[in-house]
Copies of this chain bind each other. A is one copy, B any other.
Amino acid sequence: MSDLLFAAEPRQRDIARELYTFAAGLPLISPHGHVDPGLLADDEPFPDPARLLIVPDHYITRMLLSQGIPVARLGVPSRTGAPVETDPRAIWRLLADNWHLFRGTPSRLWLERTFASVFGVTTRFGPATGDAIYDEIAARLAEPGFRPRALFEKFGIEVLATTESPLDELSRHAKLEADGWGGPGGRVITTFRPDDVVDMEFEGWAGRIARLGELTGEDTTTYRGYLAALWSRRQAFKAAGATSSDHGHPTARTVQLPAAEAARLYERGLRGSASAADAEEFRAHMLVEFARMSIEDGLVMQLHPGAVRNHNKSLYTVHGRDVGGDIPQATDFVHALTPLLDAYGNDPRLRVVLFTLDEDTFTRELAPLAGGYAALYLGAPWWFLDSPDGLRRFRDAVTETAGFYNTAGFTDDTRAFCSIPVRHEVARRADAAYLARLVAEERLPLDEAAETIADLAYHLPKKVFRL
């Protein structure tokens, strides 16, 4: 067995190895991700290695951009009509030629492990071997065993949640349910992600509000109708298997406004006259509204604050959202969450899973909060932090104050379907390494560490996300 990510010291490494066996074989629980549900609904073969593994992976495209390689040369679609590379082999070679840039990064680890464990390719990737590896993977992708549903089963995924806007009609989830793959308790479920109908600063917000009205039959020209429409969509999402909602706000700010004041903000937004401060206030207010709804309908709230979206302006202008141009910012939780916590923080019916891009908040704010309020759980390290050292620093930072059982266990956050197994492997190995240190330092008995690693890998995410 590989000793990947285990400390070198032989005794501690032996403990890590042993602990890892208690997690390695458990099914994968993936309650938060960005896989396209159409992939599994349609179950078509994947197009080619580059479009599968490079083009949609903004960890990869941004690193190449940082060394002066425009993402257009990597096939990232443009929305301005600017030309982009379309030859998958050319894209693939560009990565192979620059593979040294990824030394020490999780992208390298994820891709190399994916090559090996999913495609059986064990040659070392690089300029000299890129083409041959391309051919091997392309050949695999043509085989029936490499279609999405076959891989899903091979990967040992027990449940996978995708993420949809309230405006999504959930037709792909309906197809999955019809095939015995979806619906409540199913293998592929959805997540209620209302940002694009909550955040007035998203382009085209008013138009989407109108569409929300059509979809639900509610009068979304009024705030009251808007709330009813959101409630209606939540219930439709629950019917399609959703057990959680997800909220990606710039900050963690919450506020509880009187209904009349919220209505005024809402109407200002519809008239197109809301300021940036109005939009922030409305987002903050809606988080408390969603917490209230959560207590009623049981959807677990996920909160992902702290990204400055589309920081790289020219990248955004040409290629749009979610292509690697977001940058973290310092994030406050201790003051921002107070209104929500004053209202519902000690209510065990509410579950709010907090994620952060600002690891400074782990010891200072998040662990104390999760270790002091019944409603709060800490999400796994997210995005830039979902890496071997990021995972280690997370446990190191939060465990002493929040323990293990105020965390939600591991959740990957990936768009890259084939990387799901390695993401979980890395997290399980990182937890094995962390727990092995506690055991070696006489801070935790081995049998309790073994129980804990299984909880972190499987039982906790299942329980916290009500799966």
Contacts and interface: CB of A to CB of B under 8 A. Distances in A.
Interface of A: 2-9, 11-12, 62-63, 65-68, 70, 100-106, 109, 124, 308, 311-315, 324-325, 327-330, 332, 334-335, 338, 341-342, 345-346, 348, 357-360, 363-365, 367-374, 376, 384-385, 387-390, 393, 396, 399-406, 437-438, 440-445, 448-449, 451-452
A144 B214 CA distance: 79
Contact of A105 (B101, B312, B346, B403): B403
B4 A346 contact: no
A364 B389 CA distance: 14
A68 B463 CA distance: 15
Contacts of A311: 334, 338, 341, 372
22 contacts: A5-B442, A6-B441, A7-B9, A65-B374, A66-B372, A66-B376, A70-B346, A100-B405, A101-B405, A103-B404, A104-B399, A104-B404, A311-B338, A314-B345, A328-B334, A329-B365, A330-B360, A358-B364, A360-B360, A360-B364, A363-B384, A363-B390
B442 A3 contact: yes
B452 A103 contact: yes
Q: How many copies does the complex hold?
A: 3
A331 B363 CA distance: 13
A370 B360 CA distance: 19
A274 B311 CA distance: 32
A38 B369 CA distance: 33
Contacts of A325: 372
B6 A372 contact: no
Contacts of A374: 65-68
Nearest 10 A/B pairs, CB to CB: A68-B348, A8-B440, A387-B400, A104-B399, A8-B12, A68-B374, A4-B442, A8-B9, A327-B368, A9-B9
Contacts of A9: 7-9
B368 A5 contact: no
A437 B363 CA distance: 24
A371 B62 contact: yes
A406 B12 CA distance: 33
A36 to B, nearest CB: 24
A6 B442 CA distance: 8
Contacts of A438: 104
